[in-house]
Structure 1
């Protein structure tokens, strides 16, 4: 069921994108703010205490590796992981760098998902707005439907694949803490970037602030 829900998150994003107009897409900033706050809170409340059950400086090192890895991936994805795509609209060839970097990100975020935490919800809430914006970009820039489907299907499969490998290969258990720490770093960077970008020019926005507070409280009381 987890695998199906993770796949459907991208499918739902694609369906919503088909009904959106450019003006309506601007309202996604509130949903993005909620998703960033929710993902960050799940990471802080559940994943972080888990990896620090046996405190070690090396855990901090792996978290920093995750942050640096995500920064590196964003040189190629142009910020698609946090809802921003800055590609040339006239380019119609398959965006391989975007595809590879997003697939690596999606693959890794599947590893810490388990029955013992609520990360499944956090990843789904994070994936839907990203899938909406990604799909909307492909639709409005004139990519072939086959190109769009290939991209989104593989992107949708990556997180379930990461979760499947984590659950079924014993060798992964030996490095579970280190892998989860790397993913925590990835989530830290993505979620805080979303929150930073949701407050452009550092102006107070009641709707976005409310969405952030709801995301934090919901994650806390789950």
Structure 2
């Protein structure tokens, strides 16, 4: 299931957009807010205690900061797709390689902690669904051939399971598990906090947004 669920989350989201053909992304905002809170809470409750209980907490902190910097770097190419919007022109009919590579690297990394923390898988899935919805809207309303859009989503969906497989079968990944997990924590912290900041218009108070954020934290705590 660790390998199958992320693939299904992405492909079913793509199928939903393909069949319903929505043009607006507004309906995804509350789901994004929930996913950001849920992922952030799981990171704080599950991953942070583990890496800081390790033999070198300061090194873990360094890798967390490197993860934040890595995600900032990746977003120069993904244009923010990891947190629910794509600041790219959709007039091109060519395969968006930079977007694909940056999202794939992000997805591969986030699969690494799943091997030892199964609950993180649910945070990743809840995170992937709104991202896949927004990405599908972007791809299907571009001038790209439909089969290329599908191939993009298919290979993108496989990256997180590949990260989990790598963590489960690589001696190198096992040896450097804590630094790698710390790196992923940095990625998660950056993405989840940006999602929470950007999921409302004008950063105005929104009782529904506050409600789903509290719900996301509560669900993560009781998992």
TM band (smaller chain): over 0.9
| Structure 1 residue runs without a partner (length 5+) | none
Q: What is the SS of the residue equivalent to 1:21?
A: coil
Q: Does residue 124 of the first structure (1) align with residue 129 of the second (2)? A: no
> Who is 2:27 aligned against?
27
Q: What is the SS of the residue equivalent to 2:114?
A: coil
Q: Counterparts of 2:67 and 2:150 in 1: how far apart (Å)? A: 29
CA deviations 1:35-88 (Å, max 9, x no partner) are: 000000000000000111125211110000000000000000000000110111
Q: Counterparts of 1:201 and 1:116 in 2: how far apart (Å)? A: 36
CA deviations 1:142-183 (Å, max 9, x no partner) are: 321111111111101110000001011122111000000000
Return the offset for 1:117.
4.1
Query: RMSD between aligned alpha carbons?
Result: 1.2
CA deviations 1:95-128 (Å, max 9, x no partner) are: 1110110000001000000354410100000001
Mapping for residues 80-91 of structure 1, pairs under 5 Å:
80-91=81-92
Return the offset for 1:213.
0.7
> Who is 1:9 aligned against?
9
TM, length-normalised to structure 1: 0.96
Q: Does residue 114 of the first structure (1) align with residue 129 of the second (2)? A: no
Work out the number of aligned pairs and report it. Answer: 221
Deviating 4+ runs (over 6 angstroms): none
